[in-house]
Amino acid sequence: MTRAFDIVKQNPQRVIIFDTTLRDGEQSPGCAMNLEEKIKMARLLDELGVDIIEAGFPVASPGDFEAVNQIAHTVKNATVCGLSRAKKGDIEASAEAIKPARSKRIHTFISTSPLHMKHKLQMDPDNVFEAVKESVTFARNFTDDVEWSAEDASRTEDDFLCKCVEAAINAGARTINIPDTVGYAMPGEYAAKFKMLIERVPNIDMCILSTHCHNDLGVAVANSLAGVIAGARQIECTVNGIGERAGNAAVEEIVMALRTRRDIMPFETGVETTKITKTSRTLSAITGFSVQPNKAIVGANAFAHASGIHQDGMLKNANTYEIMTPESVGLSESKLVMSKHSGRHAFREKLKELGFELGDNALNDAFARFKNLADRKREIFEDDLIALVEDEMVRENERIRFISLQVQAGTRGPQTATMVLSVDGKEAPASVVGNGPVDAIFKAIREIYPHEEAKLQLYQVHAVTGGTDAQAEVTVRLEEKGKTVTGTGTDADTLVASARAYIHALNKLLTKRSSVNPQTGEIAAANA
Ligand code: KIV
Ligand code: ZN
């Protein structure tokens, strides 16, 4: 028996949350994370209470293997899972990478739709069927907890799907995943697939059925919930819904929908919902993918009541317009917290309260930046501290580091950036003229560390809090030979934040290694 199987056996209304932020999410363009970032996210997912963390695709590259392996060492509660195609080498790599985990799963998959078998795999159905049996049987040599996925299941013929599912269960798979790989299914249709399997596959009781929905038509969450109502007991999803193309089903939406509408969906998850906001914000800070303001649960406006009528109703009784409380997702109003008179001890205690434990060096750097900020900004809010500390954390172990910047800007020109960076521990200065201050800064970085082939794809500025003295949070996306990386930078000075964001992206570009996309088998454009 697997751990997930035991949980569902004890409580048949319990839904297993399988988080694939670090695999399906991370492999999408612009979402690549480095080792430290992946470990940080894995810790947060573990605290959030997801049951399974799909930590990556170990055979893809030494970097992916290392990340899955380190996550397996780190995670305390969740099962750690590695993805593998139906190939022995892939399965062996996953088995080795997840070895240190307290609880481990191997996830193996192959396409079963006529379109994928013919054009992508160039295999006939008989060979695919053999590969299903062989891959699951082989994976069972390493762990009892094997998941098998029928890629493009929603476009697979029912007879063939039933035959493969039955064989995978006989070979030892204890979770069977029915992905809507291309986000094509509609909720009624997707639910019917599960009902069909439950009716027709004789050994279906020996497995947990799982949903895995992409959001191409905007119904990934609706499909996942429809799957559960029809009998699935595992949902595969990602934080903020990141993932291939339009993304995957969003974990925060699924969990809050199940919690809020227990009246018609009497199911439970193990997720501690008050950790949702922190997990979402950290992922946004790491990847530079901010969520849209009107995004359900984690968007900046998700709990904001702007119209007069709504505000009036809220004051009389919050239930008039609020179906869940902001506190239930860990959202509290950003409080005014510190001033320039606050000392190191108070600073450390406040960071602890916000969930950050920094080592001595990182604490010293963050404290120096806090003092600098407090000199320039009248009021320091919790959001300011979170932005500052997260900015400090993503910078650990960087080869290229920001030291100083002076900019001449305005109508008089020439707009010039005079900058000092540290490259592998050595100081490197440059003074460069550009078409505006940001252009001059980015050119100065290019002069200090040439990287001609990288193209700037995105430059975006957000204010962390309100007011003209708010800190700026800048996002920079670079693309080089089809690979994209995203960097972020925060500072009270927008130009310094811009420099930090560009340097962050450049460091990520340097650590990027080539890897294989699990779905296409090709060297991926976006994998870290
Ligand atoms: O979307 C998909 O089909 C996948 C599989 C690898 C499970 O991500
Ligand atoms: Zn997927």
- Encoded tokens for 385: 């501290």
Kindly report the protein residue whose alpha carbon is nearest to atom 8 of ligand 1.
Answer: 24
Binding site membership of 149 for ligand 1 (Cβ less than 6 Å): yes
Give the number of the atom of ligand 1 that is nearest the alpha carbon of residue 153: 3
Between the alpha carbon of residue 235 and those of residues 110, 201, 282, 422, 443, the distances in Å are 19, 20, 22, 45, 46
Choose between 313 and 410: higher pLDDT: 410
Instruction: Note the pLDDT of residue 484.
Output: 78
pLDDT (tens digit, 9 = 90+) per residue, 306-341?
566 666 776 777 777 779 999 999 987 666 677 788
Q: 394: closest CA among 288, 275, 492, 238?
A: 288
Residue 413: band (very low, low, confident or very high) from pLDDT cuts 50, 70, 90: confident
pLDDT (tens digit, 9 = 90+) per residue, 62-75?
999 999 999 999 99
* Percent of the residues in the chain that have a pLDDT greater than 70, as a whole number: 94
Residues 6+ apart with CB under 8 A from 183: 213, 214, 215, 216, 217, 219, 220, 245, 246
| Cα–ligand 1 centroid distance for 444 (angstroms) | 42
Instruction: Note the pLDDT of residue 352.
Output: 78
* Percent of the residues in the chain that have a pLDDT greater than 90, as a whole number: 66
Does the pLDDT value for residue 517 go beyond 70? no
Query: Which of 156-165, 344-353, 388-397 is predicted most confidently?
Result: 156-165
Task: Give alpha helix (H) positions in 304-359.
Answer: 308-316, 344-353
Residue 513: band (very low, low, confident or very high) from pLDDT cuts 50, 70, 90: very low
Query: Which of 169-178, 353-362, 365-374 is predicted most confidently?
Result: 169-178
Domains of the chain in start order, with CATH, are 20-287 (3.20.20.70), 400-514 (3.30.160.270)
Give the number of the atom of ligand 1 that is nearest the alpha carbon of residue 151: 3
Does the pLDDT value for residue 221 go beyond 60? yes
| Amino acid type, 74 | T
| Cα–ligand 1 centroid distance for 71 (angstroms) | 21
Between the alpha carbon of residue 406 and those of residues 413, 430, 468, the distances in Å are 14, 11, 20
Give the number of the atom of ligand 1 that is nearest the alpha carbon of residue 152: 3
Instruction: Note the pLDDT of residue 184.
Output: 98
Binding site membership of 238 for ligand 1 (Cβ less than 6 Å): no
Give the number of the atom of ligand 1 that is nearest the alpha carbon of residue 214: 1
Does the pLDDT value for residue 226 go beyond 60? yes
Residue 524: band (very low, low, confident or very high) from pLDDT cuts 50, 70, 90: very low
Residue the block writes with tokens 């009624």 = 188
Region 142-149: mean pLDDT is 98
Does the pLDDT value for residue 466 go beyond 90? no
Give me the chain's average pLDDT, please. 90
**pTM for this predicted structure:** 0.81
Instruction: Note the pLDDT of residue 307.
Output: 60
Binding site membership of 37 for ligand 1 (Cβ less than 6 Å): no
DSSP string, 128-152: HHHHHHHHHHHHTTT-S-EEEEEET
Choose between 417 and 319: higher pLDDT: 417
DSSP code, position 453: T
Ligand 1 pocket mutation, candidates 181, 182, 210, 236, criterion most atoms within 8 A of CB: 181
Region 172-197: mean pLDDT is 98
Region 159-182: mean pLDDT is 98
Residues 6+ apart with CB under 8 A from 427: 403, 420, 421
The radius of gyration of the chain's CA atoms, rounded to the nearest angstrom, is: 24
Binding site membership of 236 for ligand 1 (Cβ less than 6 Å): no
Task: Give alpha helix (H) positions in 337-416.
Answer: 344-353, 360-376, 382-394
pLDDT (tens digit, 9 = 90+) per residue, 255-279?
999 999 999 999 999 999 999 998 9
Instruction: Note the pLDDT of residue 528.
Output: 26
Give the number of the atom of ligand 1 that is nearest the alpha carbon of residue 179: 3
Region 18-29: mean pLDDT is 94
Binding site membership of 181 for ligand 1 (Cβ less than 6 Å): yes
Residue 520: band (very low, low, confident or very high) from pLDDT cuts 50, 70, 90: low
Angle between helices 251-260 and 276-287 (to 10 degrees): 160
Instruction: Note the pLDDT of residue 521.
Output: 60
Instruction: Note the pLDDT of residue 405.
Output: 97
Instruction: Note the pLDDT of residue 464.
Output: 78
Region 117-125: mean pLDDT is 97
Binding site membership of 112 for ligand 1 (Cβ less than 6 Å): no
End-to-end CA distance of the chain: 34
Give the number of the atom of ligand 1 that is nearest the alpha carbon of residue 248: 1
| Cα–ligand 2 centroid distance for 130 (angstroms) | 23
Region 378-387: mean pLDDT is 82
Find the length of the chain.
528
Q: Which ligand is nearest to the CA of 85?
A: 1
